[in-house]
């Protein structure tokens, strides 16, 4: 199938998916969640004030009209204004994207390179001390909650040793660098356990295939076998895991940005949840769903690049 036709057909799937996402968002925010008027006005608000706010926010419209407004938002990306701060939501997203990407960009590159390199190393020395050591370290990393790692890192590396800034952020390069080093290091360790174990399992599964034994019997060095054959044929699950992480990273790291006082998208979402700022939450949910759809299409296209035997259908 022609590549452009395949991409066009896959993008058509965005339409029913977004309708479904809008329905879920509408049910959760309009039928299940508590009335945001009490959060915005306080517990001492009068019935008249609540009704006036409902009218101002469009919450007194029929449910079908409110649902169609949510659908319109998803397809036009016109997210409107924040209920809490009265700011344009797109302006808020633009302001938060830079701080978020200053953490997640380097984190994504370092974490991916480290976990794949270590997975190859332990697969090369499978069953030996370094393989067992990395495996134990991965299990330890998976067993410790992310919040505990963040709090310990702030207390020990920033407060006790004074090596890093404990919190805060300054816009502009290189002003932000001192503030993002510690969260990047901590999250590399947080992601290390799961990613390394996954990549190790994928590479070892490929290393026991018949073609690998044939390559070794022909006298190829273990280095060539691992890098030229095993890694190349392990790229599909590795690629899937790498690309599927991108939308989450673009939307920021909620815990890191909250505890390190970094004004990114993750901190913006946490603040919106605390304030019952539904338009901001809806906007980020829609962008998240749209991002996952687009990167899933990209994943399928890249499959044909790393493995020519696969065909687009």
For range 167-190, the mean pLDDT: 85
Residue 122, token pair as written in the block: 């332990």
The architecture (CATH level 2) of 89-276 comes to Orthogonal Bundle (1.10)
Judged by DSSP in three states, 63 sits in: helix
pLDDT band per the 50, 70, 90 thresholds, residue 1: low
For range 285-308, the mean pLDDT: 77
In this prediction, residue 9 carries a pLDDT of 78
In this prediction, residue 207 carries a pLDDT of 75
Between CA 89 and CA 83 the distance in angstroms is 10
In this prediction, residue 299 carries a pLDDT of 78
In this prediction, residue 33 carries a pLDDT of 66
In this prediction, residue 273 carries a pLDDT of 80
Residue 213 has pLDDT above 80, yes or no: no
Closest alpha carbon to 267 in 110, 93, 41: 93
Between CA 250 and CA 105 the distance in angstroms is 8
Closest alpha carbon to 251 in 235, 279, 270: 270
For range 262-278, the mean pLDDT: 83
pLDDT band per the 50, 70, 90 thresholds, residue 300: confident
Residue 311 has pLDDT above 70, yes or no: no
Residue 77 has pLDDT above 70, yes or no: yes
pLDDT band per the 50, 70, 90 thresholds, residue 301: confident
Q: What ranges do the domains of the chain cover?
A: 3-76, 89-276
For range 283-303, the mean pLDDT: 80
Residue 308 has pLDDT above 70, yes or no: no
Helices and strands, number each (H, E), in the chain: 17, 0
pLDDT band per the 50, 70, 90 thresholds, residue 145: confident
pTM of the model: 0.77
Residue 44 has pLDDT above 80, yes or no: no
In this prediction, residue 135 carries a pLDDT of 83
What letter would DSSP give residue 155?
Answer: I
């Amino acid at each position: 199938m022609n590549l452009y036709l395949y991409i066009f057909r896959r993008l058509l799937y965005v339409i029913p998916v977004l309708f479904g996402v809008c329905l879920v968002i509408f049910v959760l925010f309009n039928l299940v969640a508590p009335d945001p008027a009490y959060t915005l006005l306080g517990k001492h608000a009068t019935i008249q004030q609540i009704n006036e706010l409902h009218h101002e926010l469009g919450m007194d419209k029929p449910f079908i009209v409110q649902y169609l407004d949510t659908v319109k938002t998803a397809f036009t990306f016109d997210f409107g204004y924040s209920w809490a701060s009265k700011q344009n939501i797109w302006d808020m997203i633009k302001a938060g994207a830079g701080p978020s990407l200053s953490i997640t960009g380097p984190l994504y590159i370092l974490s991916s390179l480290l976990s794949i390199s270590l997975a190859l190393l332990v697969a090369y020395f499978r069953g030996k001390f370094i393989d067992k050591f990395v495996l134990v370290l991965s299990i330890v990393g998976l067993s410790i909650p992310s919040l505990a790692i963040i709090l310990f890192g702030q207390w020990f590396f920033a407060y006790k040793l004074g090596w890093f800034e404990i919190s805060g952020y300054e816009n502009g390069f290189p002003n932000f660098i001192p503030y993002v080093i510690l969260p990047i290091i901590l999250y590399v360790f947080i992601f290390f356990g799961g990613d390394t174990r996954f990549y190790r399992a994928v590479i070892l599964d490929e290393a026991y295939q018949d073609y690998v034994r044939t390559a070794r019997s022909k006298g190829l060095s273990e280095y060539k076998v691992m890098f030229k054959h095993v890694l190349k044929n392990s790229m599909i699950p590795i690629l899937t895991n790498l690309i599927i992480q991108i939308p989450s990273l673009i939307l920021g790291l909620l815990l890191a940005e909250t505890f390190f006082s970094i004004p990114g998208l993750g901190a913006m979402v946490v603040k919106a949840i605390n304030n019952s700022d539904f338009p901001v939450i809806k906007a980020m949910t829609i962008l998240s769903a749209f991002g996952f759809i687009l990167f899933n299409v990209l994943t399928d296209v890249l499959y044909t690049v790393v493995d020519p035997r696969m065909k687009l259908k």
